[in-house]
Structure 1
Amino acid sequence: MSLTSPKPHVARSLHEVLFYLRQAVRSIYRAEQRPPQHEPMVVHWIEAYVWHAPDRPLGERTTADVSRFLSHLAERPGISASDQEQAREALLFLYDRVLEQPLDEPLPTYRSVSDAPPSLWDITGNAPA
């Protein structure tokens, strides 16, 4: 599914892309008879991912972009391991089922900030408390 403009010279706004993306996600999610109670969560995490780097089109994003988003979640207070796993699964659904562009590498799973790569640790080299 293409979420870019059919004419290269006609740029679509991010809001317009999100509108069509929401429709596609919901349509495919429902067609696959997935649990309806999880649908709002899937849409939420996909939208959060799109807004995380609004200047980068979805078709140009890579596994590294998804990993950066998941790392960003690991840094945020109040984001549980369950939230991170939901986001991870939502993004896998986005790439595998909606965009039909499976990610070329497995996604990391961060349970806490201390599980995140050292590049996310503080300047002293210590894992965050």
Structure 2
Amino acid sequence: MPPPAQPKLLDQVRERIRTMHYSIRTEEAYVDWIRRYILFHQKRPPAEMGKVEIEAFLTHLAVKRGVAASTQSQAKAALLFLYQKVLKQEVDWLKDVVAAKQPQRLPTDLTVDEVRTLLARLQGLHWLIASLLYGSGLRILEACRLRVLDLNFKMHLLTTRNGKGAKDRITMIYTHVLNCGGRGVISPLDH
């Protein structure tokens, strides 16, 4: 009896990502970048490629496509994962790849008055989610998945379950009225 066929490369990537408990969004992104990398090199198997091909792909993203630095970093992380975790190859030289230019941006934070104005213009579910994002540091997907039993107003705690990296975490919340049409707003403790 012949040995069972080895799973396709992208299935191996998915299996390894799930074994390491990465998020589904990371899985989707990594598989997409690895697929693009393979297509960029006319469907050559990654095990037959190396430094030259990886550098060519990442440089193409930065120079020809003009992608953002974060986009190129994500592609680089996906290829690192492929070569190190799936193909079991070392790629320490990858740090020498031409990096996409990082834009110079000043951090922007909303003032308390700007938050009041923004929240006063929202209603219903949008208002609730924006209030949670502002006051508890939730990510958007975490706020959308939140359940009533995850809120503990008495202890000022909010529990997010199965968040980024499939982890649970607890954060503090504080209910406070911020002159938003008389509605209570979930806001940080320091306001």
Report the TM-score, using the length of structure 1 for normalisation. 0.65
- Partner amino acid for 2:100? R
Q: For the residues of structure 2 that align with 1:90 and 1:55, how far apart are their CA atoms?
A: 17
Give the 5 Å matches for 1:108-123. Answer: 108-112=97-101
Residues 63 and 104 in structure 1, CA contact (< 8 A), matched pair in contact too: no
CA RMSD, Structure 1 to Structure 2 (Å): 2.3
Q: Which runs of 4+ in 1 moved over 6 A?
A: none
Q: For the residues of structure 1 that align with 2:94 and 2:54, how far apart are their CA atoms?
A: 10
Deviation at 1:52, TM superposition (A): 0.7
Gaps of 5+ in 1: 1-5, 7-18, 113-129
Query: Relative contact order, CA 8 A, sep 6+: which one is greater?
Result: 1
Give the 5 Å matches for 1:9-88. Answer: 20-54=8-42, 56-77=44-65, 79-88=67-76
What's the secondary structure of 1:106's corresponding residue?
Answer: helix
Q: For the residues of structure 2 that align with 1:21 and 1:83, how far apart are their CA atoms?
A: 23
Determine which structure has more spread, i.e. the larger CA radius of gyration. 2
Q: Counting strand residues as a fraction of each chain, which structure ranks higher?
A: 2
Total equivalences in the alignment: 96
Q: Counting helix residues as a fraction of each chain, which structure ranks higher?
A: 1
Deviation at 1:78, TM superposition (A): 5.5
Over the matched positions of the two proteins, sequence identity in percent amounts to: 36
Gaps of 5+ in 2: 102-191
Q: For the residues of structure 2 that align with 1:74 and 1:86, how far apart are their CA atoms?
A: 12
Give the 5 Å matches for 1:93-104. Answer: 93-103=81-91
Q: 1:66 to 1:77 in 2, by over 3 A?
A: closer
